[in-house]
Amino acid sequence: MVIGAGDVEIDLPRLAVELTEALRVGSAEPGRRVRVPVTADVTAMILVPGLAPGIPAYTVKVHAKNPNRSPAITGVICLHDLATGDLLALIDSAGLTAIRTGLGGALGAHLLARPDARHVTVIGAGAQGRAQLVALAALRPIESVSVRDTNPAAEAEFVAWAERLGIAASTDLGDVGEIVLMAT
């Protein structure tokens, strides 16, 4: 079975609780990553194993990083049966990686910010900046966002996107938000 980004529904508040617990507990034996340079454009191919207690499956993530593309990281997650090793699914990793990484940054910002903070500044208007803002909005109410990026067109796209989410948005950093997300 091949699972694309649009085929996965994620409960961000629940995932936040589970990710927080996983970060707190850590792993007795972290998986060993294998990193291989590929070409001048594809700066790395990385194999990342994944195994969690109580889940009768394991994953192997294969991804390539190409800073000249958007998204810069593309790949696949292979889900295998823990007992037999049989392949259960191939999952497009770009969307899930953005969500997981975005949630990690949002969790840190959420836990360190004042409980009443509602104004956010995002540095980096790409997929990671969007993922962090969506994740943070799942954890607390967000009233406004300011964005900064080296690409003015990306800033404008981010502002329009955030406003479609119902969040007031601008590129004015004159009043830096109470919460800053670094998504570069």
CATH of the domain at 30: 3.30.1780.10
Which one has a higher pLDDT value, 47 or 75? 75
In the prediction, which pLDDT does 20 show? 81
Report the percent of the chain where pLDDT is more than 90: 40
**Chain centroid offset of residue 20 CA:** 14
Residues 92 and 13 in one domain: yes
CATH of the domain at 170: 3.40.50.720
The pLDDT tens digits for 21-61 are 777 776 655 566 677 777 777 777 777 778 877 889 988 88
Supply the DSSP string of 1-24, one letter for each residue: -EE-GGG----HHHHHHHHHHHHH
pTM of the model: 0.77
Residues 142 and 89 in one domain: no
Question: Residue 81 is part of which domain span?
Answer: 2-97
Residues 44 and 76 in one domain: yes
Domain count, the chain: 2
Residues 125 and 163 in one domain: yes
Which of the listed residues 97, 112, 132 is the one where a domain comes to its end?
97
Residues 108 and 168 in one domain: yes
Which of the listed residues 38, 67, 97 is the one where a domain comes to its end?
97
Residues 56 and 122 in one domain: no
Residues 122 and 61 in one domain: no
